[in-house]
Chain A
Amino acid sequence: MSHDPAAHTTAPARRCPDVPHHAWYAAATTEEVGRTPLARRVLGTPVALYRTSDGAAVALEDRCAHRPVPLSDGRVDGDDIVAAYTGFRYAPDGRCVGVPTQVQVPFGAAVRCFPVHDDGSFVWVWAGDPRLAALRPAPDTSWLRDPAWSTFGGAWETGASIALLLDNFADITHVAHVDPEIAPLALGAAPPPLQVTVTETTMRFARDYPPAPLADWNAQVLELPADAAHAQREEGEFVAPGLWVDRWHVYVEGHGDADGTHSFVFTHALTPVDERTTRHVWRVSRNFTPSAAAEGTLAPIFERYYGRVRDVLETMQRVVDVDGPRPEVRVAADAAASAVRRIVERLVAEETGTR
């Protein structure tokens, strides 16, 4: 057996090879990160998150440089994190600043430090080349902190690649099959023309629906008669590799005080955990009926719907894992998904230099 000293210096194989690494991913929500270390995984790399004494979020590779113990099993002390078992102490920039058994800190001992951006909703982590993080602003989700919007949501890991999640969001006409009860009645007829709008790094789509009655739950929270018809608009947006935003607008006219544009914003922060697991934080925001009673009606409906989406995506991942990928028949409604795939492929080619 050979012992190759170069093996220690060779960069490990790129994990999640088909996913942009030079991108911001929401490793955690702002409230999840505190003075107790939090363990997460981003692009296959374990990440420990905590806050310094002045509240700044820190993300370090979650593995002590001395022995393979997670830093997140340790404790936060002042601004530093001290690994359990080894007692190695790391500063917020990842440098080892103390070891228990000698005065001299081993030269160059450090763990990776990831650029972070805490926007008050999410702690975005940059797991690509840290030197490029400053050149790519983190995506904006300011409506989540806007008092004009009422928001609830959930979070979990979906046992499917981020590509399967993006494909799903790019074509939500599946909703009628996944969860007939939640599906807007407007989706029932043949869908109106799909309008897709692209830039170098983003894709938006929209469909304008002629007046149609609302689903029962939607009429109920809007306090409108169940059979009244309203024009509606569906929008979806690939904002960045780690952020998808959908919107549903109901245009109410002729109902007195209820008139106006009543909108849902559905925020999906997607973080590749590894090749076949994706962290999915979803938020449902609305600019109408802020009451707790309305949330009591809406929350279980969306929890169930997104749970069913998770289940079907996990089934797809299992099929691909067991039987392998296959060329897919494409349809016109795939224009949005195709545009997103091209953006993602291009971003990967740029950062790996393999075009």
Chain B
Amino acid sequence: MTTTSVGTVVTELETDVVVSAVRRLATDVVELTLAAPDGRPLAPWTPGAHVDLLLGDDLVRQYSLCSSPADPTAYRVAVLRTPDSRGGSIAVHALAEGAPLRIRGPRNNFALLSAPRYAFVAGGIGITPLLPMIEEAEAAGADWHLFYGGRSRASMAYLAELEKYAGCVTLVPQDEAGMLDLDTIVGTPDPGRLVYCCGPEPLLNAVEERCASWPHGSLHLERFAAKEVEREGEDETFEIVLQRSGLTLTVAPDATVFQTMRDAGVSVLGSCLEGICGTCETGVLEGEVDHRDSVLDPDEQAEMDCMMVCVSRCRGDRLVLDA
């Protein structure tokens, strides 16, 4: 008996929007307001969410939403121009008011969990996902503080918007005050306080290092580049059982779980294919995952109940997936 293709296709929502406003926020930082051409509500989201901007053939970039979920008619993103990047920020900076644009999402790998106390740590343009978090933490009456570092005041976006939170915000422009003093900010574990950090890789790694002694689940990071993962030996062949589809497939050493599923006609979402964006998260019902992504934190990885199939593999010889 041959397997009949079930034909179920799962995709992320793609929406055609227009750039309804362009604002220069700081040196090399531009903010785009995106709205539906007919002004209809966009899909709801929660703080920490991001969207893909489909900027051209094979040019897809993720940017955090930094507006308020209270406004269903517009999304805002703020983008730092980085000439040495892979081209996304230059394409964004070329967009003018009225430009049509296709977006995908929103999705959220950096969700704000309810907590009585928060430390928000931003490096440069990493301020963006933290803005709606701050709005929500403030509304909920949480005890929060933002530590915001940047090269100089002129390079730091949203300083005017943060003025109303004076007393809860510590600005650390490097040219005036040096680097963020992470030993003071997160050097001592504070049970019950959650740490949300977004910024350049060295900042994330430094915060991660200091939070190693905090209670599990305290630290939440958003990465824009894939984390370096240490590999042990050669990749091996393993078997995946896709429970819902009723298929058993073999993942070759040079293939990914994602590609193996796609080749078999199984619908699985994918976007960055580098283990950053979280799109291809798939439920794991049995087996031990060799996690290689930058999305799940160590606790989430240890739970072994889901995996990013674009990069992660299997520690044994078999995984049973909810797919």
- Interface, chain A (partner B; CB < 8 A): 129, 131-132, 134-137, 140, 192-202, 204, 240, 330-335, 338-339, 346-347, 349-355
The number of chain B residues touching the other chain, given as a range, is 35 or more
Partner of A137, one of B44, B46, B136, B243: B44
A332 to B243, CA, bound (A): 9
A199 to B65, CA, bound (A): 14
A352 to B269, CA, bound (A): 28
Q: Judge if B72 is at the interface, Cβ distance under 8 Å.
A: yes
Chain A residues touching B, majority SS: mixed
Partner of B135, one of A135, A137, A196, A200: A135
Min distance, Cβ B10 to any Cβ of chain A, angstroms: 4
Whether A201 lies near B44 (C-beta < 8 A) is yes
The residue of chain B having its C-beta at the shortest distance from the C-beta of A349 within the complex is B113
Q: Judge if B7 is at the interface, Cβ distance under 8 Å.
A: yes
Given the interface contacts A135-B136, A330-B244, does A194 sit within 8 Å of B9 by beta carbon?
yes
Given the interface contacts A135-B135, A135-B136, A199-B106, does A351 sit within 8 Å of B12 by beta carbon?
no
Min distance, Cβ A211 to any Cβ of chain B, angstroms: 19
Most interface-central of A129, A134, A193, A200 (chain B CB within 10 A) = A200
- Interface, chain B (partner A; CB < 8 A): 6-13, 41, 43-46, 49, 68-72, 105-108, 111-115, 135-136, 139-141, 194, 217, 243-245, 267, 269, 283, 300, 322
A-B pair count, CB < 8 Å, reads 116
Whether A196 lies near B10 (C-beta < 8 A) is yes
Given the interface contacts A135-B139, A199-B107, does A204 sit within 8 Å of B13 by beta carbon?
yes
Given the interface contacts A136-B70, A193-B7, A204-B13, does A350 sit within 8 Å of B139 by beta carbon?
no
The residue of chain A having its C-beta at the shortest distance from the C-beta of B112 within the complex is A350
A341 to B2, CA, bound (A): 31
Tell me which residues across on chain B come within 8 A of A335, comparing CB atoms.
8, 10, 244, 267
The residue of chain B having its C-beta at the shortest distance from the C-beta of A333 within the complex is B8
Tell me which residues across on chain B come within 8 A of A135, comparing CB atoms.
68-70, 135-136, 139
Given the interface contacts A194-B9, A338-B322, A352-B114, does A200 sit within 8 Å of B244 by beta carbon?
no
The residue of chain A having its C-beta at the shortest distance from the C-beta of B267 within the complex is A335
The residue of chain B having its C-beta at the shortest distance from the C-beta of A355 within the complex is B113
Tell me which residues across on chain A come within 8 A of B114, comparing CB atoms.
350-353
Whether B69 lies near A200 (C-beta < 8 A) is no
The residue of chain A having its C-beta at the shortest distance from the C-beta of B306 within the complex is A342
Tell me which residues across on chain B come within 8 A of A353, comparing CB atoms.
113-115, 194
The residue of chain B having its C-beta at the shortest distance from the C-beta of A136 within the complex is B69
Partner of A200, one of B72, B107, B322: B107
